[in-house]
Structure 1
Amino acid sequence: MSNPRQSAHPIDPLFIERWSPRAFTEEAITESQLMSLLEAARWAPSAYNIQPWRFVFARRGTDAWTPIFDSLVEFNRMWSQRAAALVVIVSAREALFPGKTEPVPNPSHAFDAGAAWASLAFQAQLSGWSAHAMAGFDADRLRTAIALPEGYAIDTVVAVGRKGDPAVLPEGVRARELPSDRRPLADSAFEGRFGAQG
């Protein structure tokens, strides 16, 4: 499949070659391969180097897989059943900041967890794997399934796998199995004030 994406300014090809497929091959991922993706995520930037993210993972075929998989909405279970692994990314809502003696709310916990997700996704691309983040899950069921303490927010569940043949997907989903475009940069980047046109 050719990639129709074109950047308007010079960037590394990694950024337009990475996308989030739903069709996977069912190839297994080794623990070492998965740890490589999580290692990249570990090195993401965060405010004050707080590193609010934590990762709860399960490889398909292990006892850890079913509780996480079952928490997904039906649509996501339909396609992610072929993924090699599921990674739940959570983040601590509070942090002990420098100079503080007690934890306080961390307003950037989700933002920083997003940086970890991006790092994971780019490392997956570099390693010949693909990653697809999902918002469709039963948060209460997932929280119970992974025994998540109350002080943590669930940010996303990521399916990791080898990109597969779109023919494994139902017809309606198959038609969407291609790299998505992005709005023009001029519609997102403004000099000096929001909405200002150059």
Structure 2
Amino acid sequence: MTIEKQVSTSRAPEYQADRIFVDRWSPRGFSREEIPETVLHGFFEAARWAPSAFNSQPWRFLYALRGQPEFETFLAPLIAFNQDWARHAAALIYLLSKKEFTAPGKSEPQFSRTHSFDSGAAWANFANQATAAGWAAHGMSGFDVEKAKAVLGVPDGFAVEIAIAVGRKGDGAHLPPALLQREQPSSRSAVGAFVARGLFPERFRG
């Protein structure tokens, strides 16, 4: 069974939702195909239109293409587990968020309580656009945050949120057997597990 067929049969929505959300998943088995920068910038274009508090747009993306000198620099902060497969990606990206913003009508910057949340919305747009274009984006929390800030030259006032590997889905031939077995879409909790009408339900504690 192909991965594409696997996605369609292993993810059955309970309610009507566009397949772009249901079919998106995070593979590790990338092909060696290079990604044109214009295509990658199409994913950033989708991120551009994400909602944010006061339209502050706190997200910032840094990227390096495989084969460029910066790629090894971007690879270095990742934990060894992620380095092993992410080195095959066509691009590595770090998503940052600006912690402060200047509200409309104000002259002084203030802390943005939603800087991470808003940047997460940009990441979701990015990932879904990558899927729509026939590519895959795999977000990672497994990296040394302080090392990433240092090697990327990130100043104070910015949070390093996630690392992202982007590439074309391949056959996973470079993956070890244990990872290759996991190279398939994961399931999701039922809607009732995270949605409730009314006050906080006891089941949410689980």
Cα distance in 2 for residues equivalent to 1:85 and 1:151 = 25
Residue 167 of structure 1: CA displacement? 3.1
Encode CA deviations 1:162-189: one digit per residue, 9 max, x unaligned: 0011332111111111101111100100
SS at match of 2:147: helix
1:148 aligns with 2:154: yes
1:195 aligns with 2:201: yes
1:70 aligns with 2:111: no
Question: 1:156 corresponds to which letter in structure 2?
Answer: I
- Equivalent residue, structure 2, for 1:93: 99
Contact 2:31 2:172 in 1 (8 A): no
Residue 196 of structure 1: CA displacement? 6.5
- Equivalent residue, structure 1, for 2:132: 126
Q: 1:117 aligns with which of 99, 123, 146?
A: 123
1:34 aligns with 2:40: yes
SS at match of 1:137: coil
TM-score normalised by the chain length of structure 1: 0.96
- Specify which structure has the higher proportion of helix: 2
Aligned-pair identity in percent equals: 43
Question: 2:17 corresponds to which letter in structure 1?
Answer: I
Cα distance in 2 for residues equivalent to 1:195 and 1:22 = 36
Q: Cα–Cα, structure 1 residues 97 and 8, in superposed 2: closer, same or farther, change >3 Å?
A: same
- Equivalent residue, structure 2, for 1:169: 175
Question: 2:196 corresponds to which letter in structure 1?
Answer: F
- Equivalent residue, structure 2, for 1:7: 13
Equivalenced residues, count? 197
Q: Give unpaired runs (5+ residues) of structure 2.
A: none
